[in-house]
Amino acid sequence: MAPRGRIRPVTRREQAATEGRDRLTEVRAAEGAPMAPFDWLLMLSAAGIWGSSFLFMDVALRFEHPGLVAWLRPGLGLCFLALVPGAWRPVERSDLPAIGLLGLLWMAIPLSMFPLAQTWIDSSIAGMMNSGMPVMTLVAGATFFGVRTHRLQVVGVVIGILGMVMVGIPTAAGGADGAVATGALGVFLVVVAISCYGLAANIAGPLQRRYGSPAVLVRVLVVATVATMPWGLVGLTDSDFAWSAVGSNLAVGLGGTGVAYVAAATLIGRVGPVRMSAVTYAVPVVAAVLGVVVLDESLGIWELGGLLILMAGAWMTTRVGPRSVGTPSD
């Protein structure tokens, strides 16, 4: 009689992979169905917090260097995420490089680009330009990650990029202070930021489905905090203290980089990166209203028309189409 073999224990990665496959099955089912009420709640929460973050950054930048704002945001977000249940769940060492890359693409680079851009362009314009993320997410997903999207979604993001161009052209041509060079540079920095977001949205999905959103985000924020620290320390020497700046940093850091990112990362796992990226179409509404009402910024017919087109694209990107791009006909 042959000796009975030992039962090999399940490794951490195998357990995570099994749980990830279970989550992926649920996500694929969700991607083919209309968004649930809880998905809409996550989307509106993230959009509202992120939309107001442009206002708070503008207030903080009146007293603080952009580098300090960029450093405090992931640092404060880390303080919030560290307390979220499941944040310190173990992850496999083989996934750490991807998490490190996310720390740069999802946090460090974009969170550095936006405050720097807002030294030259209005907060409302920065928030409205942020709606180009779905286009970058679609391009990155289809090119590098094999993501299939419905034709209706493709039309939606094309319409969305048209609206983004309409929003950006007046600022790129003149800038918030009338300077062409600084206005164009500010718009360019926002485009760099949303391009990083598009790549990150596709990378984050599988990781957060495997380990859960908090476990991925807390490590991403550790990387981002360390990466932005040198610029932050330089900015600290060129900043002034003000309570309004302190409150703005807390709102942007704890809210925009803590609560909102948890909501967005959870949404990626539930509905996929392309439909999650539609959250940024709601951001410009909040950013524009707050910029005009609170900061006394002005928007012309081009910006307002572009905003309406962006919202039309947002509606289309959340629809479920009968066929997907790259899928052969039956």
Complete DSSP assignment for 270-310: HH-HHHHTTHHHHHHHHHHHHHHHTT-----HHHHHHHHHH
Residue showing tokens 């357990």: 15
Structure tokens at 113: 């680009």
| Nearest CA-CA partner of 275 in 176, 148, 175, 111 | 148
Give the per-residue pLDDT at 3: 52
Query: How far, in Å, are 13, 15, 260, 295 from residue 9 at the CA level?
Result: 12, 10, 38, 60
| Nearest CA-CA partner of 52 in 255, 298, 246 | 255
Give the per-residue pLDDT at 91: 92
Give the per-residue pLDDT at 327: 37
Sign of the alpha-carbon torsion through 254, 285, 112, 264: positive
Helix (H, G, I), strand (E, B) or coil at 324: strand
What are the sequence ranges of the domains in the chain?
43-317
| Nearest CA-CA partner of 274 in 212, 202, 213, 203 | 202
Asked if 57 and 115 touch (Cβ cutoff 8 Å), the reply is yes
pLDDT along the chain (330 residues), means of 10: 54 57 55 76 87 95 97 95 90 94 96 95 89 78 78 83 84 63 86 91 85 90 97 96 96 90 77 71 85 91 86 71 43
Q: Cβ contacts of residue 305 below 8 Å, gap of 6+?
A: 163, 166
Beta bridge partners of 65: none
Structure tokens at 324: 């997907």
Give the per-residue pLDDT at 325: 44
pTM strictly above 0.85: no
Asked if 190 and 129 touch (Cβ cutoff 8 Å), the reply is yes
DSSP secondary structure of 212-227 = -HHHHHHHHHHHHHHH
Give the per-residue pLDDT at 326: 42
| Nearest CA-CA partner of 314 in 270, 268, 272, 283 | 283
